[in-house]
Amino acid sequence: MALDLDAEQLDRYSRHIIMDDVGPEGQAALLDSSVLVVGAGGLGAPVLQYLAAAGVGHIGIADDDVVELSNLQRQVIHGNDDVGRPKVDSAEEFIAALNPDVDVDTYETRVTQDNAESLIEGYDVIVDASDNFPTRFLLNDACMLADKPLSHGAVYKFEGQATTLTGGPCYRCLFPEAPPEGTIPNCAEAGVLGVLPGTIGAIQATEVIKLILDEGDTLEGRLLAYDAGGMSFDFVPIAPNPECPVCGDQPHIDSVTEGEYAGACTLGD
């Protein structure tokens, strides 16, 4: 790990470097780290913004969507001139303008059973900023099997949630199966408070940075539930499920190609 930060980096990251818990070694660790963010929408926008600002040296962005005018109420890395552009292109341009230290790889694709394992390969931490249950289960399984830490977040109306998954308990321990398709409306049907993804996304970015620095206590084993209307935070313990098919006592999912990830039930973005 290189500690030879140049003069511009010493200035850019000075507020990190003067912290005992970060210092030049921690900043070098951030610059040497790699993070894949799945989703460049409401949650992905603040995650990407803060990880890039912090100096995470290699960021991957996976998203198959284009910017729409209705996105701009919450997806703060995109602007009017980006409407109609692929979100990965807009996000890459935003990061380049924010911090030239960051190398960006873009994947204009939906995460599927065919590409999930290859997408997460080579990245230190994975961020689930997706908007649907099949992708959440798919990322959970791929990360658990590859021993990759996963930061999960979700938003809906005035409510948000976040947790960090590092090998068990996993997302399937929390939600054994997705709700039936159509029972949970997406943000186009139910709406989402514009600032809410910023709060949850910032929490996800915080978790990622702590994982890289190996500092502080993460949300492993806990689900943070945030109610913006009541301005309250609650923590729900996540108990390991011995019958979990991916992290239980006798797991039977050995590859994401063996799982079932049909449907597209969404929960806000």
> Given this model, what pLDDT does residue 64 score?
97
What CATH number has the domain spanning 33-258?
3.40.50.720
* Count of beta carbons in the 10 Å neighbourhood of residue 204: 28
Please name the helix (run of DSSP H) or strand (run of DSSP E) that holds residue 153, with its range, or none.
strand 150-156
Measured between alpha carbons, how far is 85 from 103 in angstroms, rounded to an integer? 20
Confidence of residue 171 (pLDDT cuts 50, 70, 90): very high
Q: What is the pLDDT of residues 85-128, one digit of tens each?
A: 999 999 999 999 999 999 999 999 999 999 999 999 999 999 99
Q: How far is CA 124 from the centre of its chain?
A: 12
% of the chain with per-residue pLDDT over 70: 92
105-111 contacts: CB < 8 A, separation 24 or more?
Answer: 105/58, 105/59, 105/60, 105/61, 106/60, 106/61, 106/62, 107/60, 107/61, 107/62, 107/63, 108/63, 108/64, 109/62, 109/64, 110/64, 110/135, 111/38, 111/62, 111/135, 111/138, 111/139
Question: Does the pLDDT at position 1 exceed 80?
Answer: no
187 in active site: yes
Q: What is the pLDDT of residues 193-218, one digit of tens each?
A: 999 999 999 999 999 999 999 999 99
Q: What is the pLDDT of residues 232-246, one digit of tens each?
A: 999 999 999 999 999
User: Which has the higher per-residue pLDDT, 257 or 227?
Assistant: 227
Among the listed residues 170, 173, 187, 244, the single catalytic one is: 187
